[in-house]
Amino acid sequence: MTSYRAPVKDIQFTLETICDWPSLTRLDAFVDATPDVMLAVIEEAAKLSAQVIAPLNRKGDLEGSRLVDGKVVTPDGFADAYRQYVDGGWNGLSFSPDWGGQGLPFALALAVQETWTAANMAFSLCPMLTQGAIEALTHHARMH
C-alpha cells in the first residue's frame, strides 16, 4: 500500500500568497475564515486523506464499482469513507450556511478537494457529482 501525506505547508503558502487569503477574509462573506480556520481545515483534510481515503486507493482500482441487481456497489470501504466525509462537513465546505454549508472560500474547498484527488482519484470523483448538483441548484433553481 502506498501512503499519502498532503503537502499542508505548501497548500497554506499557496492560499496565503497566491490566493491572497488576507484579501479574501476582508470580504463580508469570509470574515470568519481566519488563517487559523484555514490551517485547521487543511490539517483535518490531510488527516482524512491520509488515514481514510488513501488506503482505499488500490482497493478501488482492483475492485471498481459494479452494478448488482440494479444498484451500484462501490469497492469495500468507500461507503464508510464517504460517510466520514459527509459527517465531517466536507461536502458543504464552500456552500452557503443557509443550506447547511460552511460558507468558506471556494479556494479553500478546491485545495481540500485536491488532497482527496491526490489520495484517491476514484473516491474524489464521487463527491464531485454532488458539488455539481449544488452549484446547479444554487444558480438556477427558483427559491419560493
Q: Are 59 and 32 in contact (CB under 8 A)?
A: no
Cα(first)–Cα(last) distance of the chain, in Å?
Answer: 50
**What pLDDT is stored for residue 143 in this prediction?**
66
Give CATH for domain 8-135: 1.10.540.10
Domain range list for the chain:
8-135
Band of residue 109 on the pLDDT scale cut at 50, 70, 90: very high
Q: How far apart are CA 112 and CA 127, in angstroms?
A: 12
What mean pLDDT, rounded, does the chain reach?
93
Q: How far apart are CA 87 and CA 74, in angstroms?
A: 19
Task: Output the nine-digit C-alpha cell for 75.
Answer: 469497492
Question: Using one digit for the tens of pLDDT, what is the confidence trace for 120-138?
Answer: 999 998 888 888 888 888 8
**What pLDDT is stored for residue 1 in this prediction?**
55
pTM listed for this prediction: 0.89
**What pLDDT is stored for residue 7 in this prediction?**
97
Q: How far apart are CA 100 and CA 89, in angstroms?
A: 9
**What pLDDT is stored for residue 144 in this prediction?**
59
